[in-house]
Amino acid sequence: MNAKAENLNFVTINGLLSYGEALVRRPSVEGAELPPAPGPSEDRPKRVLVAMTAIRAFVHDAQKGFADAAAYGNARHQLIQQACGGDDLVFFAAWNQLLAQGELSALMRAPIGATIKPTRRRPVAIVPREHMTPNLAEGRIVLDIGNDQFWLMPKDLSDRTLFLTMRHGVSQVDSKKFRVGRRLKNVLDPERGIPKAEAIGTALARTLGLVGKQLDFLHLHNYLDPKSFVHMVSRSPNTRQLFERVVSILSPDTAKTTQPIVEGALESQDFGWATGIEKTAELEEAAKAFGVDTKTAQRLIKHPLYSYPGGHSFFELYVDLVDGFHHLGQTHQGEVLCLYTHSSTLRALLIFLDPRPFSEAFSEFGAYKEGQDNVVLLTFEHGQLSGYSTAVGLSERERAAREAWKTVEQERRDKVTLHPRQIRRVVALVSGGDFAGAGAALKELRVTGNRLGLEVYFVQHGFLGLANNWIELVTEQNTRGMSNHASSPIGSSRFEDFKDEEVQLAAIHHLKPYMEDGALVVMGGDGSMRGARAIFERFGIQVIGIPGSIDDNIAGTTSLGLQSAVALANQSIESLKATSAAMGSVFFVEVMGAGSGHLALMCAYQARAEGLLVNEHPDPDAYIEEVILGTLKQTLGVQNKSHIIVVAERTPHCHHPVGGVHGLVDYVANRISQWTHLQTRSGSYPLSVATKATILGHTLRGASPTPVDKTMAQHLAYEAIRSLVEQPQEVIGCMLAYRDSGTIQPIPLHALAPKPFDWELFARMHGTELAL
């Protein structure tokens, strides 16, 4: 988010000072703990200039990072004390003036404690009702997350923390109309707030399976005991009231004796002297101070880095919360924490859980409203938070989602500037993890593009190449032999710096000359499609996506590269099966897919592997014990029988910190050595058993393209060019999806979703799909 790009040039030091002073002068609001009013000062404008220099240095140093939120908070506090002489108004004006000049943006990327978003998260095990089998659900915590979906996790929480995070509903001072925040102790509205709090309690009880039965046919045991839950509130009475209502529903017997803990990470934002002010009055006051209309003034106040006079910004709340939640996770392992908090907490959590960088995710959840999700479920395991948010009233959520979709889809169409038959040039790149089929798609883009009179350009190494201006015109000669090329003939890259606005601006600067009557084709996986979406939405680049990733993890399409990766894995797995059958050994075969197990499932299913360990599994340790060891106990020693277990890279388990195949060979060998039926007795000599690991890893990304991938690639590329020429309105800002039926259809980039794991196939592979 670029403050300059958002046009904050109406902001001046004098305007900020007179606005801040006006807020300080307002009559105090009942019940609000406002910061002490600063004394009169003649030379504030001069002191602001000095403070700006210190804040610039602070932003610069912040790039080196802060160990945690407290270190960041202390450094910021020092700025107010030392560089601003303890004068909150001087700080307010200096900070926000720099914000308006675009000089604070780098803060949003500074590594502060746990706020650095993980590049990959373990997928949460979410299973739709129709795929739920006794095998999956039994012995697990099952959370009903609504919409006929269930979140599964191990019943043993010993090295995990489960957070049930709720926000209070409607309070007496309505946060829709007033700035409330941590300085105003608010209470629930007796008429609407109390019933809403009870509705949240009832919804949570349903999620936990305490009322009604989630899945009758499974006769599930409930492993969560609400009596053992730890409850935490903020200092505001409304969160305590919410706690009281919820706990009276979750555990009526102990409700009276249960006490909550007051937890700092659950506080809402500090609005300083704006606390208690009506939002319309706040805007009018700001508009007066800056000499603009209220809509313009709102641009400043809505910015996530805008610091309230005497308070802080949403960004600071986010830092405290993300770090605070990680700390709670570390210090409460094995516990279920019920957290009663404010809507800003839920908003900050959604922003953190979203894979995009802070500024982009903030724009997405900026309009987070009452009536949306009221409960966010999170787990903390292996040092990481994973989560899922859910609404109390699903119909309301669905309606909100539909409304949001309509608006965003209209915005997409409004951003399409190309008219039918106007396009003259196409620029193509491959981004993210490479995949087979990229060559065939590129060749088809060149062939069909040229045939329809377009110039075709390729960018070397994806978005990195854009930033470096590695863009070249392509001729027939350049694409000879390309369709059978393994991986990407024009390179690819993972380019984390592309999240940086300045880097994006450089890339756009290089791209712009080609974009006059032109379009960009981005080939890659989910991350690349996010990059494509960002430059379409921010800079209006006319972009179209083609799915390519061995992970095949985008819903509604098959991605290029999957088929070829499976074909290559098949060759290795069949070789391993042969040697396994001959020698009686056990092979753990690791394939890629730390973020999604589709590839592993495809490999294991077609090879009729004995087992499959994936990141999506709710309980990998239990799977190792029950399924892997259980199966091997039966199959080891059988003559000419192969033993293959497919493992997705980095699946976490307790036998090695890195997960995946690591640690499994020794652990399983040790367990097998204790099985008496495999031990030599007099007159009986069982087959000796060895356990081995093979990591196929990146070989799969560099697989030669199979005919299926080449055909799909050509279809997709042909359709990209054809539709860019004939119906740009339908495909720009979209990814072309290759449906199972073989048809190709656009999906708007903003509507892309992760592909759900195919639990039905997983169950069928284990023979547990039918509830007999």
Residues near ligand F6P, by CB under 6 A:
432-433, 525, 549-551, 592-595, 649, 701
Calpha distance 339→165 (Å, rounded): 5
Write the DSSP assignment of 50-104 as a string of letters.
HHHHHHHHHHHHHTT-BSSHHHHHHHHHHIIIIISTT-HHHHHHHHHHHHHTT-S
Diameter of the chain measured on Cα atoms: 102
Contact 585, 689 (CB under 8 A): yes
Report the residue number, 414 or 496, with the smaller CB distance to ligand F6P. 496
Pairing of strands 471-473, 455-459: antiparallel
Sorted by sequence, the CB contacts under 8 Å of residue 343 that are 6+ apart come out as 167, 175, 268, 368, 370
Name the helix (H) or strand (E) containing 745.
Answer: strand 744-748
The crossing angle, in degrees rounded to 10, of helices 358-365 and 343-353 is: 130
Residue entry with tokens 């590839």? 599
Local structure of residue 554 (DSSP, 8 states): B
Strand ordering across the sheet containing 691-695? 611-613, 643-648, 586-591, 691-695
Report the residue number, 594 or 712, with the smaller CB distance to ligand F6P. 594
Sorted by sequence, the CB contacts under 8 Å of residue 236 that are 6+ apart come out as 168, 182, 184, 185, 186, 267, 268, 342
Calpha distance 88→320 (Å, rounded): 20
Sorted by sequence, the CB contacts under 8 Å of residue 415 that are 6+ apart come out as 536, 537, 540, 732, 733
What token pair was written down for 318? 């986010």
Strand ordering across the sheet containing 126-128? 126-128, 149-154, 140-144
User: In sequence order, what E strands does 257-363 have?
Assistant: 261-262, 336-341
Contact 281, 179 (CB under 8 A): no
Closest CA to 466 of 421, 518, 520: 520
Report the residue number, 154 or 525, with the smaller CB distance to ligand F6P. 525
Contact 96, 16 (CB under 8 A): yes
Report the residue number, 430 or 471, with the smaller CB distance to ligand F6P. 430
Q: Reduced to 3 states, what is the DSSP secondary structure of residue 504? A: helix
CB of 668 vs ligand F6P, minimal distance in Å: 23
- Phi/psi region, residue 660 (left: phi>0; alpha: psi -120 to 50; beta: rest), is left
Calpha distance 703→484 (Å, rounded): 11
Number of H helices, E strands in the chain: 25, 20
